[in-house]
Amino acid sequence: MSSQFILVNLKAYKEGMGPRAHMIARAAEEVSEESGIQIGVAPSFFDLHPLSKHFEIPVFAQHLDGVVPGAFTGHVTAAAVRQTGAVGTLINHSERRLTLAEIEASVRAATEAGLVTVICSNNDMTSAAAAALSPTYVAIEPPELIGSGVSVAKADPGIIQRSVAAVHAVNPKVKVLTGAGIQSGECVKIARDLGTDGVLLASSVVKVEDPAIVLRDLVSLL
């Protein structure tokens, strides 16, 4: 069985909320069972508990704050994410940037709560800095390609290669995902051949009528 991981970020897309979040999670579970490839989803906070309850696939938060439970308002604690049944979290997504100190606090809080951590980075230098915080994964996503329909695997394979090298030079135990414009089995295969452990993607799955078709294509060459 391949150890590649495909993580679908539902973002705040209207096509990724409520019933559509369930439909995408169901498709991810089916394709994961058929293929043996692990496929997870990162829905809105409101869908963390229902999806964790109804599906066996890994469910991730899109963000969490590095604060302990207590007198904080409007914060998302690692303990609260864990209690939904979610198993991991994105940290520092390009659309939810944090300071370095906040990233460190979020990784620490998530790790203490037993969550898998995915720090997103925008280039190979920040990938190296992220690796120094010992997350489970660093996810390299060039911001200019996010949501563009142009795949990082084809448009900028060099950034993937340099990020894998930079991460592993700092901490060989940290795994690497890549994302931005990922849309096909060919993209996933190129990323895998460049040394990554999987992909982080959104629009090509979330915004289509039948996400299962795209998910089947994504795993087809692994």
Flag whether 9 is marked binding: yes
Query: Which of 49, 141, 144, 168 is labelled catalytic?
Result: 141
Query: Which of 93, 95, 112, 186 is labelled catalytic?
Result: 93
Which residues between 188 and 207 bind ligand G3P (CB under 6 A)?
Answer: 200-204
141 is catalytic: yes
182 binds ligand G3P (CB under 6 A): yes
**Candidate residues 40, 58, 179, 198; the one interacting with ligand G3P per rule CB under 6 A:** 179
**Candidate residues 50, 85, 147, 157; the one interacting with ligand G3P per rule CB under 6 A:** 147
Please, what is the minimum distance in Å from the beta carbon of residue 69 to ligand G3P?
A: 27
**Candidate residues 86, 118, 140, 180; the one interacting with ligand G3P per rule CB under 6 A:** 180
Residue 102 or 144: which CB sits closer to ligand G3P? 144
Please, what is the minimum distance in Å from the beta carbon of residue 46 to ligand G3P?
A: 18
Written as one string, the DSSP assignment of the chain is: ----EEEEE-TT-GGGSHHHHHHHHHHHHHHHHHH--EEEEE--HHHHHHHHHH--S-BEES---S--SSS-SS---HHHHHHTT--EEEES-TTS---HHHHHHHHHHHHHTT-EEEEEESSHHHHHHHHTT--SEEEE--GGGTTSS--HHHH-HHHHHHHHHHHHHH-TT-EEEEESS--SHHHHHHHHHTT-SEEEE-HHHHTSS-HHHHHHHHHTT-
Please, what is the minimum distance in Å from the beta carbon of residue 106 to ligand G3P?
A: 16
Q: Which residues bind ligand G3P (CB under 6 A)?
A: 9, 93, 141, 146-147, 179-182, 200-204
Task: Report the catalytic residues.
Answer: 93, 141
